[in-house]
């Protein structure tokens, strides 16, 4: 069965391609290489033994998307990762974010809904919940007004898919709301490669440990949490990748209850920034240089998933620990930087 993975050379996309291939799916990747390198294909091949098909396409190019679907007429589903994802940048370039994240989605759906049957998995985010009133966060928690254009593209994206699924019986979709994906494949053949200064906590930690950054800033220690730092649900990217395969297979096997479903993907456990730092220090043996600075604008106090729906309905549960995820992120960083 042939599956399109957009953004398949990126962080979560590449790990998902590996798990799809391991599960027997035939994968074709679309990526515009704006935030990924073609060499990721070699990393995937080293792990699975199979190099996926690859087309360099900018999904904002509607004609190119149409031509792609004519060439690969046997595609029966898509997992859509391709999107811009820097929260701060989205505030400064809202139109770029709306154009990139939404027009690509619309063009894909226009093609998929022409098929007799099509399955679609969407990369969404726990950012849709904002600061939830209750923790852990269930899928029933209300979607809060988005804090950034990036977050808004995820909310609007979900609405576009929901409305599409309502009207097209041949189209089934699942939106997966990720908590905080971290880590790398145990082979160290693929991992996260942020461009420029990392905005997310774990790549900043590993780059500081590797000597690329002088010091890590902890954004605030006066939050109402156990140690005053923000709490998040850090999920190993390999666990997350496996959830995509299970979601797709759920649609392929017609096991979905409605033709648009949402699932939270997290571990169910919240960890504070200081807990992440100390766990990293333990697994890496590196003393991290860090200091407490002011809060970062837009950060929620705490977010972690209620995993009951994912466990019981999707049949998926995260397996790997925070320590394992941090260790894998460190091993990957060391490999990329040539550190022994």
Residue 69 makes contact with ligand UD1 by CB under 6 A:
no
Q: Which of residues 92-121 bind ligand UD1 (CB under 6 A)?
A: none
**Nearest one of 122, 93, 114 to 7, comparing CA atoms:** 122
Strand partners, 50: none
The least CB distance from residue 267 to ligand UD1, in Å, is 14
Residue 219 makes contact with ligand UD1 by CB under 6 A:
yes
Answer left, alpha or beta for residue 94, where phi above 0 means left and psi between -120 and 50 means alpha: alpha
Mark the segment that binds ligand UD1 (CB under 6 A) among 97-105, 157-165, 169-177, 293-301. Answer: 293-301
**Under a CB-based contact definition with an 8 Å cutoff, are residues 11 and 191 in contact?**
yes
Tell me the number of residues near ligand UD1 by CB under 6 A: 19
Mark the segment that binds ligand UD1 (CB under 6 A) among 44-52, 103-111, 217-225, 252-260. Answer: 217-225
Specify the residue, 236 or 250, whose C-beta has the smaller distance to ligand UD1: 236
Residue 225 makes contact with ligand UD1 by CB under 6 A:
no
**Nearest one of 8, 2, 239 to 119, comparing CA atoms:** 2
The least CB distance from residue 299 to ligand UD1, in Å, is 4
Specify the residue, 57 or 238, whose C-beta has the smaller distance to ligand UD1: 238
Rounded to an integer, what distance in angstroms lies between the CA atom of residue 173 and that of residue 158? Answer: 10
Contacting ligand UD1 (CB under 6 A), which of 87, 173, 241, 248? Answer: 87
Q: Residue 208: exposed, middle, or buried by beta-carbon count in 10 A (0-12, 13-18, 19+)?
A: buried
| DSSP H stretches of helix in 72-214 | 87-92, 94-98, 104-112, 149-167, 201-209
Q: Is 107 a catalytic residue?
A: no
Residue 30 makes contact with ligand UD1 by CB under 6 A:
no
Specify the residue, 70 or 291, whose C-beta has the smaller distance to ligand UD1: 291
The least CB distance from residue 219 to ligand UD1, in Å, is 4
Q: Which of residues 232-271 bind ligand UD1 (CB under 6 A)?
A: 232
Residues 6+ apart with CB under 8 A from 72: 2, 4, 28, 53
Rounded to an integer, what distance in angstroms lies between the CA atom of residue 22 and that of residue 339? Answer: 30
**Under a CB-based contact definition with an 8 Å cutoff, are residues 300 and 223 in contact?**
no
Contacting ligand UD1 (CB under 6 A), which of 35, 124, 180, 256? Answer: 180
Strand, helix or coil for residue 55: strand
Task: Point out the catalytic residue in the list 107, 150, 178, 234.
Answer: 150
Mark the segment that binds ligand UD1 (CB under 6 A) among 89-97, 211-219, 305-313, 319-327. Answer: 211-219
Residue with tokens 């140690």: 227
Contacting ligand UD1 (CB under 6 A), which of 17, 128, 173, 273? Answer: 273
- H or E stretch at 43: helix 40-48
Rounded to an integer, what distance in angstroms lies between the CA atom of residue 158 and that of residue 174? Answer: 9
Q: Which of residues 318-337 bind ligand UD1 (CB under 6 A)?
A: none
Closest-by-Cβ residue to ligand UD1 is: 230
Give the residue numbers marked as catalytic: 150
Binding site for ligand UD1 (CB under 6 A): 87, 125, 127, 151, 180, 199-201, 204, 216-219, 230, 232, 273, 296, 298-299
């Amino acid at each position: 069965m042939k599956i399109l993975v957009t953004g398949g050379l990126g962080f979560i996309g590449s790990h998902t391609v590996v798990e799809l291939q391991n599960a027997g799916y035939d994968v074709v990747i679309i990526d515009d290489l704006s935030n990924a390198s073609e060499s990721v294909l070699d990393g995937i091949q080293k792990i699975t033994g199979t190099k996926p098909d690859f087309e360099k396409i900018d999904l904002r190019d509607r004609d190119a998307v149409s031509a792609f679907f004519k060439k690969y007429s046997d595609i029966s589903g898509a997992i859509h990762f391709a999107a811009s994802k820097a929260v701060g940048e989205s505030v400064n370039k809202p139109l770029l974010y709306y154009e990139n994240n939404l027009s690509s989605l619309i063009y894909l759906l226009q093609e998929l809904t022409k098929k007799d049957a099509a399955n679609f998995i969407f990369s969404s985010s726990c950012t849709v919940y904002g600061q939830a009133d209750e923790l852990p966060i269930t899928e029933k928690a209300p979607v809060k007004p988005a804090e950034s254009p990036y977050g808004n593209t995820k909310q609007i994206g979900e609405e576009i898919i929901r409305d599409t699924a309502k009207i097209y019986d041949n189209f089934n979709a699942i939106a997966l709301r990720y908590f905080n994906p971290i880590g790398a494949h145990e082979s160290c053949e693929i991992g996260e490669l942020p461009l420029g200064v990392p905005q997310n906590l774990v790549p900043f930690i590993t780059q500081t440990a590797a000597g690329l950054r002088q010091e890590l800033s902890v954004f605030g220690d006066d939050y109402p949490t156990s140690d005053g730092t923000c709490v998040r649900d850090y999920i190993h990217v390999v666990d997350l990748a496996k959830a995509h395969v299970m979601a797709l297979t759920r649609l392929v096997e017609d096991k979905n209850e409605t033709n648009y479903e949402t699932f939270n993907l997290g571990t169910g456990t919240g960890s504070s920034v200081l807990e992440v730092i100390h766990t990293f220090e333990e697994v890496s043996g590196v003393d991290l240089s860090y200091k407490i600075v002011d809060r970062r604008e837009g950060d929620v106090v705490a977010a972690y998933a209620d995993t009951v729906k994912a466990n019981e309905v999707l049949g998926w549960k995260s397996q790997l620990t925070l320590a394992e995820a941090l260790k894998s992120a460190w091993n990957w960083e060391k490999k990329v930087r040539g550190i022994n």
